[in-house]
Structure 1
Amino acid sequence: MDFATKSDFSQNSDPKQIMKELNRRLFDFLNHIHRLEESNLVLERQIQEQIKENSSNNHNWSKKEEQCNALRHSISKVGFKNAFLSWELDNNQMTLHHLEDRWKVEQHQCKLLQEKLKSLYGVKKQFIQSIPGLTRAVQETWENYTCLKKNHLEAVRALQQLDHPIHEVQLAKVEDGSEMELSQLLNEIRAHYEALIAGNDMENVFSIRTQPAIAEPDLRTTCDAASSVHENHYPLLAEDTERRMEKDKAALKEAKAELNESRRQCQQLQMEIESLQSMGKCLKSSLHAMEQQYQMQLQNLTAIIEGLEKELKEVKKGINKQLQEHKTLLNTKMRLEEEIATYRNLLEKEENRFYGAKPENYPTKDIRPTTSKTFSVLPTAGAVMKYLDKNTEVTKQIVLNGNIVRESTEDCGTLQPEKVDKVIKEWEGSFFKDNPHLRKKSASLRFDLHLAATNEGDSEETKQNNPPDIEVRLTMRRSCSIPTITP
């Protein structure tokens, strides 16, 4: 659609033709606006459908959240079971440490008993070493005894080899096989000699008695010495050795009993240690199995969480894509609104030019001027300027026959996207606060939001990370009744 220029209107001087042309153009313009509104309705329907789909996706996410809550509950149960098992394991470890301490004490006692046993073995070795000496002493005493016996037999033979042999003297045997004692033999010899003295002559008796009298003291001394050695030394030595042997046997029996008791205790301790070791192995195997089971459950849960994270990423990508599409639709809508605004401005210019070039005989209706003129219609700068980066103010007035038909004031500025709602609320509130003579019915406020133009050299990543600022336009319009245009 193209509008006629000033030269075209000057060529067509017929006002009816001009009005027809303008009406035709206005009709085309209104049809174009109607098409744009229909396209906007279609876009709004698509946006609502997309929102419904997102809501359905959110419903699906609620199911996923329920599953996640169930998984968290199961994880908490498993953690409680794990804590209970760890508590039982700690108790078993405490009992194991107690038994280990007891085993150490018993082992120490066993070592002490082994040391005592070693000392007893040393005493036994000493006794065993002393046995050869004692046997040698016994042999020596036995040799002395045999020597004395030989001497006694030789003395008896010497007595038998005298001139008058003693036939009556016989060596008596004792029932146990041992020979007669020397005292009995001497008594018999003495009695025999007395009988000889009584029966024979005195000379022979004296001659015979001189030699035995001389040999008798030596024989008696030797016999007494032998009998004293035999009676005193050998029995005492035998009794001493027997007492020592009995003591050694008693000590050896006690040592053997203590050794058997210590061995029995050591075997019991070894059995307890083996049972504890088997219990510890069973606990370790059960702990290892539980760790593997929990590890498998954790891997399954991590796989489920990774799948949910992937789905969440896909949903976020879809949302970002929808936001980008929404931004593109919003940009197209803003561009269309800009085109509509340009068409309106052109239409106003044509109307101004038409009414300014109208002939004097053209019928017109009285246009009432505005009752009041606003000098400050925009809000104070302090209310909004703290949010705006750039601010421009434009005031437009449409004058018809010296009267202001329409007055509009615009103020625009750029600000960050997250501050739009706050700026609009403060701007609207401060507008009517600074202009109390205006009413909300007589003045209409319009806020136009436009994305500020970005640099062409910027990449898409910088545009996504740093979205462009939004250009806000505040428009206040006060208009009197515009007369209808008659062709």
Structure 2
Amino acid sequence: MPLPRRRSSFLGQAASEHGVGLMSAAGTSVPLGVFVGMAPTGGTSSLGARVSRRALGIHSVFLHCLRSTSVPVVTHPGERGHQFGFDSLNTCLLEYRDKVHALEQLNQQLEEQIRHCLDRKAASAGTWTGLKQDWEDIYMQVSEAILDNAQLMLQTENVQANAEDFKDRYENEQPFCKAVEEEINSLYKVIDDANLTRMDLENKIDSMKNELMNLEQNHMEDVRALYKQMSDREVDEPAAPTETSLDQILAFIRSHWEKVIEKNRAETDAYLECKQTDNMTSKLSREEEELESLKTECNVAGCQIQSLQAETESIRALKRGLENAINDAKHWHGIELQNLGSVIGKLESELNDVHRDIEQQRRDYETLLNNEMKLEMEIGTYHGILDGEESIFSSSTFPGGSSVPEGRTDPTPSTSGPQSSLQTEGSNAPGAPEESKQE
């Protein structure tokens, strides 16, 4: 923001005291109406004020007017205060002109010294021709070494990045590896349980096979005993009757039928024994069926147990996976909250900076408005002074030495005009900040 130009005004002077003319360096008075620049405060020159380029340009115009004007202006004895103020202003401007000339001469001297130094350096540069090749070789070696160093640094950075990438991958794969190992251990437990049940079932099957073999052996022994009993018995065949007596015939018939009865009894006994053996075999077959049914039930129960164990292990693995997912979600949620907190902090700091900038701009705007009001008031005072001096100059040109022109009866209106304009400007100036604020 450019700094406002410092301009001083005439303060503490009466409205009736106005300067008539402006004295130049040659002692001649200059008509007013061209001067714009620095004004002294309280009748003394302000040498510490800054002079901008615009002020220097106006100063050159003012000096040109001083050289070109030769119109005499009659001064009045009652207006020496203003003349003294303008004389001090002229001396201040002349001092500024002298300073500018001195600075220009100093600048020319510095330029000549710089030119001489450059010429001497250019003349002494011929001694470096012998070392130029060595310098170029060293420069090439240094540049190559720098390039090699940069390549090595790039390679090391790539290796470090790859190592960090592998480390991140290893850390990411660790939980999955642990989960797989836990599942494998659980499957080993299931396999051990299945082996134990299989061994129990095999032992039961072996015991049942032994019982079956014992039953078969007993059955075979019983059958062999029955065959022996059947083979030991003999069937008597009836012999042809030799005698024809009635007693012999009756005895023969009685013995024959007794043998037949015995034979039938033996057959019935054998039949009953066979039936008993059949019942025993049927009982054995039922036991075998029950054994087979028990085997199938055991197999079905083992399959169900294995399926239930597999389901429980899968549920456990799913539970572990869900717990890991929940933990990861909580972790990432915390990270996101931290990131959002940092973003919110940055935005708050930026908002505070914006508020401070707005407040600073408002203050700068208020200072600019105040400076504008002060400048308008000073310009009004300058216009009042210029109008008063023009009226005095015009009154001095009339014959007879009268200081009041025709149509005027009192010299005070010349001063009242600037004061009224200052009052109107002062009354209108405070409203400018309010209008600008409303905009």
Please indicate the TM-score interval, normalised by the length of the shorter structure: 0.3 to 0.5
TM-score, L = length of structure 2:
0.38
Q: Larger strand proportion, structure 1 or 2?
A: 1
TM-score, L = length of structure 1:
0.35
Q: Larger helix proportion, structure 1 or 2?
A: 2
Say which one has the larger Rg: 1
Between 1 and 2, higher relative CO (CA 8 Å, sep ≥ 6) is seen in: 2
